[in-house]
Structure 1
Amino acid sequence: MHKRWTRRRLQVLIFTFLIVLFVDLQLRTSDPPKLSVVLDPPAGALQRAIKGAFSAAKDALRPASGSSREAGHPATEGAPVTQPTLRQEDIFIAVKTTGRFHKTRLALLVETWISRTKAHTFIFTDVEDEDTSSEGYNVVVTDCQSDHSQQALSCKMSAEYDGFMSSDKRWFCHVDDDNYLNPEALVSLLSSFPQEGDIYVGKPSLDKPITAHELLEGNATREVRFWFATGGAGFCLSRSLAEKMAPWASGSRFEQTSATIRLPDDCTVGFIVEKRLGVSMVHCPLFHSHLENLLLVNHRSIAHQVTLSYGMFENKMNSIEVKGSFTKEDDPSRFKTVHCLLYPFTSWCP
């Protein structure tokens, strides 16, 4: 009995061995199976894919009127969206002045920074200036009064706005006749914004929104609060935003809008942008007016400042502290000193 059981077990083992041997022989003589391997994409390809998806999303959001095909450029599928390079001549610079300051404030600007932005700087005033005009500068004589009233200021700002709208410039920038404008810093700042966006950038003179009372029909009023960029430090508007302002700013409408809030021109710009269009002002510390302590401006940062100013503040001269070849008696505004630091090869610089 024991021998019979042992014999059967041996037969099972031999049969199993033969099957294993047969299968092994088949595997060795047949073609190896083909494996499908999925590799991770290289980092560069992944980044390109993400960038392409982002570009496609931006194209989908962009209005049809802003397509590259309509702008005269061939549309390339999957190509990254790039902003056109901003040049100094793409900026409409408006300088507000008046006749009694032509020989003093304006003459200083013409001698310094306006001499470098001559072609695209427009001087808005209330009387003729034959000397400046004869030298090829763009002098725009308005029909506005020569005083510093709300009506006179709004009248000149209206002329500035209409002048920009009739031009082909991409940005509108306003400064007063006591501002030094650094054109290279201005281009650098504006280049950082979306060129087709709605941009209103400047510096407020207050530490909180201004409160005004908008005049409504029937002599009723309502309280409104908004930020505004002070004209004494300068401000800029993109073409897209300026176009949207037209119902309240073009022609005589700007003065009418100013009258409804009974505030000057720079406040009116802020009112239109923030309350009528719902666009927030961009607060920028690179603009400066004489209403702030200019001694706090670090002289090492001058090349990066967009505007500087000067004037009487708390019964004493307020200007930046910067050393140079000109004394404070010869250059109380320090504009000549700044100009020679930025452009040392100017003919009259020491």
Structure 2
Amino acid sequence: SKPRKRLFTLYFLLPTKKGDWRSILDLFSHFIHNFSASYGRNSSWIFFCEEDTRIQIVKLLETLRRFDKSKEWFLGKALYDEESTIIHHYAFAENPTVFKFPDFAAGWALSIPLVNKLANRLKSEPLKSDFTIDLKHEIALYIWKKGNGPHLTPVPEFCTDDLNSYKAVHCATMFSNFLPVCGDPVKKEDIFVAVKTCRKFHRDRIPIVKQTWEGEAALVEYYSDYAETSIPTIDLGVPNTERGHCGKTFAILERFLNHSSSKTPWLVIVDDDTLISIFRLRKLLSCYDPNEPVFLGERYGYGLGTGGYSYITGGGGMVFSREAIQKLLASKCQCYSNDAPDDMVLGMCFSGLGIPITHCPLFHQARPMDYPKDYLAHQIPISFHKHWNVDPVKVYFTWLAPKMEDSFTEKKQRRIREDL
């Protein structure tokens, strides 16, 4: 009898330390060279998905049969930028809607002929990337190869609708859009929030913090280059710099560890134009042990194809366990200048210590308008960054303020977990 064609499915789990797009593409080569005898000859597709993606296998196979498996196919739920954005290096600035990239939450598929081509290409064209920001966009760019490779083909059956949505009957994939909760939210008093600011922003940015998320936090301090009692701000004795702020950040870490009266288990460092939901962060942190070295936020990468490192981008907020800070400061790893990029220096230090960078896509380095609407539609975001060309108070109350549905979603999530 003829061998059955197989679908090889891979859950899309980023490697702990690197988490870069080369890791995913290297997987293609690994698959071809090491599994071809067992799977490659009898498989037609590789399907990638996230751990919370739900798959209707029969429907997925029916969907893939519509496409000629002997050709090169790149399939997924299409995302696109409505306007050029910094997180994609302002690519396709004249018309950013023309370039489509996959929503990983819905899953994405590659035909074996395309996988073979990519694996061979990796041998002759080593990947080079200075900064890795948005993995899904960068993978699509690599596959597209400046027009010499396939575009993403949108597949309507690849969905990010909730399991209980009326649309789910038409979907091969779905996505559970809940905030991870692993127990009771951590107490307000267990999170210390440090806000980095400077004198020139005391009048326009600090009032926004006080109007929005400050009331969610029990412990907040504002660190500046000027002590102003009306706020109040604390002068750390580190001169303000136009960029980088590494000296200020390390002074905050040292103060938290050695000079705070309480032994608060968690430290969050944010910019004065970061908008954050402490309410949701408390839920998320129930999934982490503060007695372990935890460094959490939105992960970017630098020089990952050439021995670089990952780092937590500062604008979306950087979350540290006390244990992580103890190990960092004990290592004597430090800034090479006060205006060095603090987030990148921290990434380099933690990489050297072997402490993993923990990525959470619910933190955002940019504004809501910088992300595709369909991408944000299945998220419960924890942070955004920047006040530029937006009403930050409106952004906070639209996207981040505690709402009735937060408690409803938590109860629904617990029911789903119990059912599983």
Q: TM-score, normalised by structure 1?
A: 0.55
Aligned residue among 215, 235, 238 for 1:144: 238
Amino acid at match of 2:341: P
Asked whether the 8 Å contact 1:290–1:311 carries over to 2, the reply is no
Contact 2:367 2:384 in 1 (8 A): no
TM-superposed CA distance for 1:295, in Å, is: 4.5
SS of equivalent to 1:160: helix
Query: 1:5-154 maps to which residues of 2 (within 5 A)?
Result: 86-117=186-217, 119-133=218-232, 139-150=233-244, 153-154=245-246
Query: Do structure 1's residue 310 and structure 2's residue 402 form an aligned pair?
Result: no
Residue equivalent to 1:227: 310
Q: Using the TM superposition, give the Cα deviation of residue 123 of structure 1 relative to its aligned residue in structure 2, in angstroms.
A: 0.8
TM-score w.r.t. structure 2 length? 0.46
- Matched with 2:298 is 203
> Could you say what the CA RMSD is over the residues aligned between the two structures, in angstroms?
3.2
Instruction: Answer whether contact 1:124 1:142 (CA < 8 A) is retained.
Output: yes
Which among 175, 180, 186 is matched to residue 270 of structure 2? 175
* Superposition deviation, residue 171 in structure 1: 1.0
Matched, 1:159 2:251: yes
Please point out which of 341, 359, 368 is paired with 1:283: 359
Contact 1:154 1:265 (C-alpha < 8 Å) held by counterparts: yes
> Take 2:316 and 2:303, find their aligned partners in 1: how far apart are those partners?
17
Kindly state the Cα deviation for residue 301 of structure 1 after the two structures are TM-superposed.
6.0
Shift of 1:84: 9.0
**Letter in structure 2 aligned against 1:230:** T
Offset at residue 147 of structure 1 (A): 2.6
- Is this contact kept in 1: 2:192–2:264, CA < 8 A? yes
Post-superposition shift, 1:83?
8.6
Structure 1 residues not aligned, in runs of 5+: 1-81, 134-138, 213-222, 320-330, 345-350
Q: After TM superposition, which residue ranges in structure 1, 4 or more long, deviate above 4 angstroms?
A: 82-85, 297-302
Whole-Å separation in 2 of the counterparts to 1:301 and 1:87: 27
The corresponding residue for 1:342 is: 402
Q: CA deviation at 1:299?
A: 6.6
Question: How big is each residue's C-alpha offset from its partner over 1:176-222, in whole Å with a ceiling of 9 and x where there is no partner?
Answer: 11111101111111111123222111113x4x43479xxxxxxxxxx
**How big is each residue's C-alpha offset from its partner over 1:126-173, in whole Å with a ceiling of 9 and x where there is no partner?**
11223212xxxxx321212223244xx112102210121033110111
- Percent identity of the aligned residues? 23
Q: Which has the higher contact order (CA 8 A, sep 6+)?
A: 2
CA deviations 1:21-61 (Å, max 9, x no partner) are xxxxxxxxxxxxxxxxxxxxxxxxxxxxxxxxxxxxxxxxx
Note closer, same or farther for the CA distance 1:148–1:210 as it changes in structure 2 (3 Å cut): farther
Q: Secondary structure at the match of 1:103?
A: coil
Number of aligned residue pairs: give it. 219
Q: Alpha-carbon deviations, 1:200-255, whole Å to 9, x = none?
A: 11113x4x43479xxxxxxxxxx851101111111111111111111345xxx633
Which residue is 2:326 aligned to? Answer: 243
Q: Does the 8 Å CA contact 1:91/1:169 hold for their aligned counterparts?
A: yes
Q: CA 1:292 to 1:110, structure 2 compared with 1: closer, same or farther past 3 Å?
A: closer
- Report SS of the residue matched to 1:185: helix
- Give the match's secondary structure for 1:236: strand
1:274 paired residue among 337, 342, 351: 351
Alignment partners' CA distance in 1, 2:319 and 2:282: 11
Post-superposition CA distance 1:93-142 (Å, at most 9, x none): 1110111111111111012211332x411111111223212xxxxx3212
2:334 maps to what in 1?
A: 254
Q: Which has the higher helix share?
A: 1
User: Superposed, which structure 2 residues align to 1:319-330 within 5 Å?
Assistant: 319=390
CA distance in structure 1 between the partners assigned to 2:185 and 2:393 by the alignment? 33
CA distance change for structure 1 residues 109 and 343 in 2, over 3 Å: closer, same or farther?
Answer: farther
Inter-partner Cα distance in structure 1 for 2:377 and 2:304: 36
Q: Distance in 2 between matches of 1:188 and 1:179?
A: 19
Distance 1:202 1:100 in 2: 27
Q: Which has the larger radius of gyration?
A: 1
Partner of 2:22: none
Q: Partner letter of residue 308 of structure 2?
A: R
Question: Which residue in the other structure is 1:184 paired with?
Answer: 279
